[in-house]
Every structure is written in structure tokens, then in C-alpha cells.
Structure 1
Amino acid sequence: MLVFKGQRRGEEGVVGWSFIMAQWLWCEGTFLAVLVATVVAQKAMPPDPIINLMSTDTKCQMLEKVPCGFLGISPENCEAIGCCFDGQQCYYGNVVTVQCTRDGQFVVVVSKDSTVPQLDLTTISTLGGNEVPCSPVVSTGSFVIYNFPVTTCGTVATMAGDYLIYENKMTSSYEVGVGPLGSITRDSTFELLFQCKYLGSELVSLMADVYTVAPPPPVAAPGPLRVELRLANGQCNTKGCDEEVSAYSSYYEDSDYPVTKVLRQPVYVEVRILGRTDPNIVLLLENCWATSTPDPLGVPQWNLIVNGCPYQGDKYLTALVPVDGSSGLSFPTHYKRFIFKMFTFVDPASLHHLEQKVFIHCSTAVCHPSATDNCEQRCFRKRRDVGAVQKTCAHHAASILALPPFPSLSSSSSIFL
């Protein structure tokens, strides 16, 4: 166990950090690296503080040299940010480097020499997966460099006093050989837990151009907007009936939860505006995701809808259900519906199914149609005018239990009301 503490004094003040716990566990040729880093960003912090998570005498012995720091950086400043200087250039060593920028970005540099045997850099992923923006921005034979906002890629945000802490984790997958009497692997495993810690309150100057928009049409009644998320349970019991239409004919009550579903069984979700009769407002779904606890920021998480579109990282894509005048609803624009296939979270260590509840959360917006925006959601469209929307959230405390798939299972045992 190694623990490093230190501070560096700059022209504007003192920047402090308290890190690093690095633990090595050797077991029949398998190398496990557990890394934790905390970076403190203060008002006097230089733009790009960089913390190295491993320090060895051979860290600068690199055949492939990836530039580190700004152009023309001095040897002293290069070493101060934990990089190597060979007399001509500043470059990253064969270590793991975490950087927190003042504009709210994670920069993580991982070397293949971070583990023994060498790490397969193509197997690394964040809590949010390895799709854009969570995929590497630079990939070489020896390094991968990640650069993504601290609010994306499954990052968990918490408050600790006056500080806002963003925490994420990188892990690697590995190949397992399965034999008749046992299973083995010859790949190293890698886990990196990293944080950015920012002071939550600070006076800053902001210049902005304000563009006025036409006032929205009057609402039916003053007051805050309330949004509800609920699960449908209607049955298609007649020949030729529409399964989706029948499903949304009835809904679970609060006393019915937790609802039990078989893996891959469809789950019918509806989000609606409550207590409004204004036909000139439109409910929009921004993001929907699932967690294993009622905390919407808790992990593990799984995306269902991202930016109004089905999450592309899922083999079983979420299906958006149109809601129009044929639905029989008085205000169909106040409703959004989607269907996803039931799943269960897997223990990241043992890869075993976790017998936990699944909680669904959605962030929403309410849009006022105008001459330039009809409030129709399309995947991959440009961000709509912020003046046209009012953001709300629907975090449902109800839960779903997952049962493993069986060769045969009666309907009475697959759903518990």
C-alpha cells in the first residue's frame, strides 16, 4: 500500500492534493491494480493540474513518448505535473495519470505498462461504457487518453460540505477460458477509481448575450409542473389485439410494487404531466436510466434513453411508443411512453447476477411550440432553444425485481402484483 501526499505552490496560491492508494495483489500470475485519486481544484489552481497514480524509478523509460503539458514547458514544470523530461520534450511516463481541468473535464491517461502482464488497452471502459464521449480521444500502441466532461460517462456527483465531488471508475474486461472442470484467465485486471473535487461556491464574472423570445401562451393555471413516471400492466387477451395499446390500458398501483419480471420480458413505462389542461405544452424525454437503488445518481446505472433517443449501447434497444390523438387521451402531448426489455445488474467482480431491485429515473423538459420549434423530438437533432423548454424530473421510487429466464414459466409466477 502506497500513500502519497503533497502540495505545490504557484504564483497565485497553493494547490494541494491528497492521494494515492495503490494496492497490488498477486495471485497465480494475475495482477490486480486498485487505484484511487482525489484532485482538489481551488480558485488558485493552475489550469491543468496532473496527478500520477504510480511512481517508479523506471517510469520514464518509454520507447513511445506521448507529449505532456503545454508547448515549451520547462523541465521544472514538467516534473511538477508528474511527467518526464528527456532534455527536449515533456512526455507521459509508463503510469496512470488523472487530470481535472477548471472547465469541468476529466483527462485520464493509461499506459499499457500499468499492470503486469501488460494491460490490453482496448478492454478499458468507464461507468458509462466506451461509446462517445466515453471512448478514448487518443489511442496509440502504448497509451490511451480519455477526455470527457465530469457530468457524463456514468459519473456520480456528491456534495461534501462546500465541495462538489465527481467520481467515476475505469475497469478492464478479460478473457476467460472455460474447461470441463474449471475456468482460467491469463489476462491482467485493472480498476481505477478517480475523483475531481471542486469548491461548490465561487464568485465569477460572466458575460452573455441575451436573446429575447416571444412569451409563451398562457398556461391553464399558475404553479409548478408535476411529472409522474408509472408502469403499465394491461393484458392483450383477445385475438388480433394490439399488444402496445392493450398494455397501456391499466397501470400498477403503489401497493403493487415491487413488480417482478422475467429477464427480457417487456417493461411498459409511461411519463406524464399531472394537473395540467393546457394543450399548448409538450412533454419531452431527455434521459432515462435505471439504478439498483432509489438514488438517481447511484451506481450501477444503465441508460435506457439518451438525449431523447434509445441508448445505442444496448443490444436490446429501448422502443419509443408514439402517443397521438388516436390514443384516446385528452392531452396526448402531455405523455411519453417507451418499452425496454427487463434486465438485472451483474456484480462487476464475480459477473454473477445481482438479486437487486431496478429503479427507473427520467429527466424531462416541457416545451412551448413556436414558429421556429414545433417541439417534435427527433434523434440526433440539434439542441433546441433553451428558452422554449422548462426542465423537470421524474424519479420513480417504485421498483422492479428480475427473475432469471426459465424454459417455461406461467404468467401467474412471472408477475407478482
Structure 2
Amino acid sequence: MLLPLLFLFAAAGLTGKSPKMKVNTSSCPITYYGQVYTTVYINFTGEHMFVCFNGYYNPESNGDCIKTPNTENITIFELNDDNDPSYWTYLTTLIKSSVNTTTNNVTCSMNFFYSVTQSVCLNWWICLLHFSGFGVKPGTTRQSLDNCTSLICSNTSVSSTSRCDSLSNVTATNRLCTVTGPTVIDFRGQMNSVSDRCEYTLLQDQSTGFTLKANFLERRRRDVSFVDSVTLAFSQGADIQLLQGHRVLVSSPVTLSGSVQTFNGVCLSKDQTGVTANISLNGSPVSVFFDGTTAQIYIDVPVNVKGLCADSSSSSSSRLSSDSSCQQQYEDPADDTINITAVIEQCDVLSAAPFSSCNAVVDPEPYIIACRNTLNKYPAVDGLRCQFLKAYAKACQKITHLFFSTDHPEPICQDKCSDHEFCGDIHGNTDCRCRAIYASQYTEQNRLGGPTVCKDNTASLTLVGCLLKENGIDYNHLHLNDKTCTGVMDPESHILKFNFSSDSCGTEVMINNSQVIFTNAVVTRNSSSDLITRQDKVFIEFSCSHPDVKLMIWIMIVLQSGEWHYSLTMKAYSDAAQTQLLGPNSDVRLNQKIWIVLETNGLDEEVVSVVTDSCWATSGNSPSSSPRYDLITDGCANAEDGTVQVMGNGQGTSNSFSFNMFEFSGKEPSEVYLHCQLQLCVKKNGSCVPSCSGSARRRRSLRYRRGAPALISMVWTP
């Protein structure tokens, strides 16, 4: 601004007739058209005096200068170090009476004397118009709030005026645009609501390439949207996002304190109420405030802009989202807990004391209607009722400097919530709740998470963290059948994931005809040492099955033999190195060689060995069904089948054998079941390796451990 610039300056006292002077003003820097300067350059050219900020005046340069008539070729600088507060009060009053757009107080000053013409244009960069105290740069336009005329300074320094267009009804006391909940109250005091969950242009200044965007999302209901974030976008430079929890992103998270920080020419600050961004559009200060529920945009002198703040009814032209799914409409059941009469009483307080003292300046009607429309559909939770009171109080404070106390515990989750969550009340505590559309895919099926994902012999189950919280479930108290198997919470998505396999975490495995099914459950940890508990009991059973299995990967059984308690698994491989594990969807050809590995866990191989006593195939799932084909008998390979080879039998706690795949003759293609019976052999005073020497083979006397032999089965489909 011109006039504040000429008065609100500090410099050392100087007097002189030199054609050029340079004055250090770092003790009181000045902001001129958004740029901070700490040096003033004075240059005389006979008829004119130039006050410049980035170098002495030169007709060939592009320096920012103020041109004034030079009557005596002299300028007197004064340093005013008066410590009397009344002097600064007097000077502030004097300047504000001359320049009605000045809002800050004088704390330092520099005086120099000159005369000002009604309209002075500098043919390079500065066009000065003695009009409401504003300077206008060439190629830009400013508007007067007094009579709604546009002041135009062309690139050739020709000044002109025109009537306002998009903001023709803006008055000096209505420079504020408020976006609260789904409602937009524009600069003209008109209001409309956003009914979808898209991103919209609130303010766009095409001459500077600046766009202010707002993104709307649902919360507890799918059919009511709320302003969820605000983005300051520039044609050049990084965008600035104001997010929930008073968070700020400028490419990456920014930590704001009480002091002002500048990014891309935007001054950012934060206090306990929210985040404020101050910018300049064509020399007009613009303030953007966002507290997570309400965005308020204040323009000192409105410029020609587009968007919902210019015209709240322009939703179709202001919508930015390219994905049309954001426009999908939902209709949730009416909330029968809402008392319409109580809503009217709650919202109408904006026209009563103490707010009534502001009603003559800021019309409360749009805020009252916005309050009623929202609370008639949406429950008054998460501080929602107070949101509209705060929005009106903030508007009054901005325009009239009246302050209304609307203290209310506002939900603040900082950076805890993910994209599908919002900050709200959960059982009396502030935490991240699920957004309604996201949650509906689970709640409509009475689930807390996604379906079980089965892959080969492993499975995973995911539970939604915010749904667990809303149901009073602490994920730290959940585990699978095996208490040591707990879920892992993703810190970004807040999804709790359980992973397990068919031989871990207490998984139960069974064979039902051609299906292999293994089952587990998520349950609540129950400690016998706890005298009381505040956790609901949880039991979520899930299973994986493999229909039409061509080859079962492996099976585990748990056995008890005397004091020995161990597990036994059977796995199938397509290579001798046992690296290519065969799964349920693996294709196995007839006459293809496969390798079967029988492995135990929980045995001391220094004391016992495992002997595969026999293995045979049947066409039914019962080990005793017929027909039956033997592969291993008495610990040795079937001599009549030259494809069978037995490796490591009786030498340790695991062994294996191989054979070529086959099917039963004379039958339609059906399942073939492989069964193996194993025994434990004590190594003391004897060998556990069966004697297999061709036709003369015989069974050696093996020291079998007392107890029933282990039986394990596998199935394949030719």
C-alpha cells in the first residue's frame, strides 16, 4: 500500500541535496507488494524524486520505486525515537484516518516531505493512484469497496475505472467467506451447501495463477459432507495444504510454532484455534484460516476472483474432482435421536446476546440456517453445535474486533488419523473414527474387517482399527488360538493384520473329501491374574479351504507318544533339491516324479529317530479303503515299483521318499489319497535304519517307542 509505506518507516536522521542517497532501514523493514526490504534508495532527476527499494532509479531497470514531484530537490529524513506511547497512538490514528485499509499499529516511522498529485503513473513498474490509499501495479486491477469500482493500471501506465463484476454486492463490512460443515457463505452473504465429497475451487485469481481449493468428505453419515482440508495452489512453487489436526503440508509435513514462517510467499502461523495463511493477491492482503471444521477467507480489498466464495451457487463450475465417484449421492436412514425443536433453539442463540452485539455488522441468518440444516440431519456430536458458534464468533472478531468466548473441547487428533478416518468422540475420548462410506462396506455385513485371504498353506486376516475402537475393542488384547500370535497394526492405514500358516498359531486342519480346511480364530487375551476386565470378549472364527485340490501342500498333526509331544508335517516338491513346493493349484502330470518330505518338530534327534514304516495310496479318503497300492512296506520301497526311492529313513527326525505320479486304473479321474504311518525309534543300543537289500531285505529289530503310530495323509487329483 502506498500511504502506509510512506509513513511507516524508520531511518537515521539525514538531510542532504545529493542526487542519490542510500539508507539502511533494517531496524524497521518494510513490506512492499509482498516483498520485504531493508534498504531505501533515493534518486533525484530534476523534476521528480524516486524512493526505490531494490536499487537506484534507472529508466532501464525494473526496480520498484515510488515517484513523487521534486519541488526543492531535497528530502528530509527523520528518525523518531519517541518512547511516549501516546505519540504512537496519535500517529496510528492519523494514518488510519487517511488510509482506511490500514489495520496494524505504528511502531516506528520515517518522515520525508513531498507533494502528491491525484494520479501519478511510473512508466515502468509502479502505477500510483490516490484512491482509497492504494497503489496499483501496471497490468493489475484493484477494487474499491466504497462504490464497487475497479481501478485498472494498464501495462502502459494508463489508469481507468470500471464497475465491479463478480463481487458487485460486496460491502466494506462483508469481505469474509465462511465454509463450515457443508455450507459456503460467500462474500455477498449468500449461502449454498455442498452435497457430495468432491474438491472445489473456493477462490481463483487467474492473473496471479493462485487457486484456493477445499476438499469435502463425509464423517459419521454418508449423506452429509464436511470441509476436510484446504489447499493453496500456485502456478509455480509447492502447494500448501491445511489439514485436520492443525497440520500443514508443503511437499512434506511442516512444524509450525507461534512464530510466523514463510513458504512460497505465504506467511503461515498457528495458535490453539487453528492455522492461518496470509498472502497477497495483486497487492490485496488475503487471510485464510482453517481449524479442521471451518475455513474462513478474508480479503482486504476483493479482486476479480471466481469460485464458491465469489458465488456459492457456482458448484458445477467450481467442482475440480475428475473422479465422478465423489458425486455419488447416498441417503442414510433419518437419525431419530435428533430433536428438531432443540436444534432451532441451539442455532438461534446466534441472534441473541452476546452475539447480538455483532448482528448489525455480520448477518447471523446464513450461519443460523447452516447450523439448522446440518444439525437437522447430523447428530450434535464431535463439537458440531459449537462449530457454527465459533464460525460466527470468528467472523465477528475478524470484521469488528469483538471477541466472543466459545470455549469448548474441540476434538484434536494431531496427525493420528488416516485418510479413511476423522477426528471425533469415541466413548468419551477423542480418537480417530471411521468415515461412513469406508465403514459401510464392513458394517453392512456385520464385519470388523475384510475376508480371510488364503494362499497355499498360509492365510491372513485384516481388521479395521477404527471399527475396533468404535466397538470398544483394544487391538492389543487380541490374538489367535495361540496367544503368542498377535496382529500387526499398520501405523499409516491403522489396519490390524494377522498372518498364520496351517502349522502355526494353533491352526486346526482337517480333510473333507477333496477339500483341505484349516481354521483359526481371533480371540481376546484373558489373563487369570486380572481381577477385572473392561474388554468385551471377542471371537472371530475364520477358515481357509481348497476345493478341487490337485495336490495338497502339506498337513500337520500333533502327536503324543509317551512323554514325547511333537508335530508332524508332510510336504510335496517337484524337484530333488526340495525347493519347488507344490501347492493346491500346482499341475502335476501322470508319471511325473515328486518328492515327499516327512518332517517332525519337537523331537530330540540325539535320542530318537523317525521311521516311515509304510506308505500307501487309496482311492478313498479312509486309510483302510480299497483299492490300495503300497509304496513303502516295512520301511522299504516297494520293490515292484522301480520309481520309489526312500531317503534317510530312520536316520533322524525327518525322512523323504520319491515316486512317479499315478492314478487308479478303471476309474473315472478322482482323488488319490496318500497315507503314511510312522514310528519313533529309540537310538540307544541299536540302529533305527530298516534293512532293505533287494529281494533279501528283512526288517531289523527296531526299538519302537511305545504309543500309537503316527498316521498322516495327503490327497491329489490326477
Q: TM-score, normalised by structure 2?
A: 0.20
Q: Which has the higher contact order (CA 8 A, sep 6+)?
A: 1
Higher helix share: 2
Asked which structure has the greater CA Rg, the reply is: 2
